[in-house]
Amino acid sequence: MTELPNVHVRAEVLAQALPHMQRYDQEIVVIKYGGHAMGDRSAAEDFAEDIVLLEQSGLKPIVVHGGGPQIGKMLDRLGIQSEFRNGLRVTDEATVEVVEMVLAGLINKQIVGWISAEGGRAIGLCGKDGNMVRAKRATKTVVDPESHLEQTIDLGLVGEPEHVERGVLDAVLKAELIPVLAPVAYGADGQTYNVNADTFAGAIAGALRAKRLLLLTDVPGVLDKDKKLIPELTVEDCRRLIADGTITGGMIPKIETCMYAIERGVEAVVILDGKVNHAVLLELFTDYGAGTLIRRG
């Protein structure tokens, strides 16, 4: 005899989710989707299911996606050699064409398709559409390990958001569509720029004063020096942990994005592991959370 599911437990879970749903009703939540979770079909379908459930529960989700590994694979297939400076890829004219093709084309429409398959109504856009995001050439400063002096690295056509025109997104959300955004944007010079997906998501969340910005990554969240998860931080805590060396490497720009978004009116930002099944629902609709939550203080 097949064992029946415990319907009472399921009902209790739904009842516990209700106050969370009410808290986020008609609120904008920006979700940056990237990392290895994007390459796993099952995880991608779970993610799409979460996004549709958010929209049908009264939230206004906006998805911003990356695609670094897919860009690398396409460059290899096309025989385009990449130049690296201090471990960072330089984006030249040939590379930015592939970036736009992969991000605004292949991956963007793939995510739209996954959401549609789960019953949602999504629309794929990039920063160029409707002049949504204007970018400027980014500068990257590193410290030379030998001289200990700061050096500025030219990464080519890598941009950072300079201005967000929210009218396009307001119209899309009013039509009850789910925007799926690729981090490619024009500059004032008419040049196409490749923008870091975290930075792009932070700019979108800040411009729309989102209730939450969720950064789905490949790690559980921010870790302390003993590699244990820190469940909650203030902006001041973040500055202190960067200064004392607890937060290092690739986590620093993520934290900087979090602080940027909060300073522009986002209530809180969460860094969480995108490989955890239904991580978005765990964070927004349960008391447990699923990563490190960062608030103003």
Annotated binding-site ranges for substrate: 67-68, 89, 194
Alpha-carbon dihedral angle through residues 263, 265, 268, 271, given to the nearest 10 degrees = -60
Residue 81 has pLDDT above 70, yes or no: yes
For 177-191, how does the pLDDT look when each residue is reduced to its tens digit (9 = 90+)? 999 999 999 999 899
Buried b (16+ CB within 10 A) or exposed e, 168-197: bbeebbeeebbbbbbbbbbeeeeebbbbbb
Question: Contact at 8 Å (CB) between 275 and 43?
Answer: yes
For the entire predicted model, the pTM comes to 0.90
Q: Averaged over 143-148, what is the pLDDT?
A: 67
What per-residue confidence (pLDDT) applies to 1? Answer: 45
pLDDT recorded at residue 5: 59
Q: What is the mean pLDDT of the chain?
A: 89
Three-state DSSP class for residue 31: strand
DSSP for 117-147 reads HTT--EEEEETTGGG-EEEEE--EEEE-TTT
pLDDT in tens, 270-287: 999 888 888 898 889 887
Residue with tokens 């330089």: 90
- The percent of residues in the chain predicted with pLDDT above 90, rounded, is 63
CA proximity to 153, closest of 144, 165, 161: 144
CATH architecture, range 23-295: 3-Layer(aba) Sandwich (3.40)
The neighbouring-strand residues paired with 216 are 272
